[in-house]
């Protein structure tokens, strides 16, 4: 795994990691998109945002160390690990099932299982209501937006294959 340090993040953490937050990059499914977004997070014109990881079909790039706080989901930054996935929140079910997305989601699932083991995070999908009461698990940026009202993002989108993804996580964790 390559490391490209994001420009904007907070050194250290004020809370233990309890959440893994999935995002979409809002960028096309192409080789090098994850690397390009990682470089954008690191560049001179970097947004006031970052993620711990950028993932595409061609692999995983870490942008912020797990022990530091990325600026990816206001309300859950201090308790979350943020994973940016190549693609769009507007993707259809078929687009989430194309070859690029299937390969990328395999990389994401392996990464999520590894993070969950390190931080004792249950491999379950959590909702906005779960976030509000401090339940630990995996969620989308949409859930953080609904829970805390500090952003209006709705990624990874209504067609993200949550049931299939969580089943894959559990299968990987057992195997």
Mean pLDDT of 123-148: 97
Q: 102 vs 17, 22, 74, 156, CA distance in Å?
A: 27, 15, 28, 15
Q: Does position 175 have pLDDT exceeding 90, yes or no?
A: no
Mean pLDDT of 5-18: 97
Q: What is the pLDDT of residues 57-114, one digit of tens each?
A: 999 999 999 999 999 999 999 999 999 999 999 999 999 999 999 999 999 999 999 9
pLDDT band at 172 (very low <50, low <70, confident <90, very high): very high
Q: Measured between alpha carbons, how far is 19 from 174 in angstroms, rounded to an integer? A: 20
Q: What is the pLDDT of residue 129?
A: 98
118: containing domain: 2-174
Mean pLDDT of 142-159: 97
The domain that holds 16 is classified in CATH as 3.40.80.10
- What total of structural domains would you count in the chain? 1
Q: Measured between alpha carbons, how far is 105 from 8 in angstroms, rounded to an integer? A: 26
Q: What is the pLDDT of residue 22?
A: 98
E strands in the chain: 2-3, 9-10, 19-24, 53-56, 59-62, 69-70, 80-85, 137-140
């Amino acid at each position: 795994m390559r490391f490209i340090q994001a420009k904007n993040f907070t050194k250290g953490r004020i809370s233990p990691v309890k959440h893994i937050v999935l995002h979409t990059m809002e960028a096309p499914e192409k080789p090098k998109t994850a690397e390009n977004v990682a470089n954008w997070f690191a560049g001179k014109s970097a947004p006031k945002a970052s993620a711990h990881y950028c993932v595409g079909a061609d692999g995983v790039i870490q942008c912020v160390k797990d022990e530091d706080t990325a600026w990816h989901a206001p309300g859950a930054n201090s308790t979350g690990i943020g994973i940016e996935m190549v693609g769009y929140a507007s993707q259809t079910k078929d687009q989430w099932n194309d070859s690029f997305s299937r390969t990328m989601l395999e990389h994401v699932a392996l990464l999520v299982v590894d993070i969950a083991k390190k931080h004792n995070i249950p491999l379950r999908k959590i909702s906005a209501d779960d976030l509000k009461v401090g339940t630990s698990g995996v969620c989308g940026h949409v859930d953080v937006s609904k829970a805390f009202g500090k952003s209006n993002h709705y990624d990874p989108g209504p067609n993200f294959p949550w049931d299939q993804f969580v089943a894959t996580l559990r299968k990987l964790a057992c195997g």
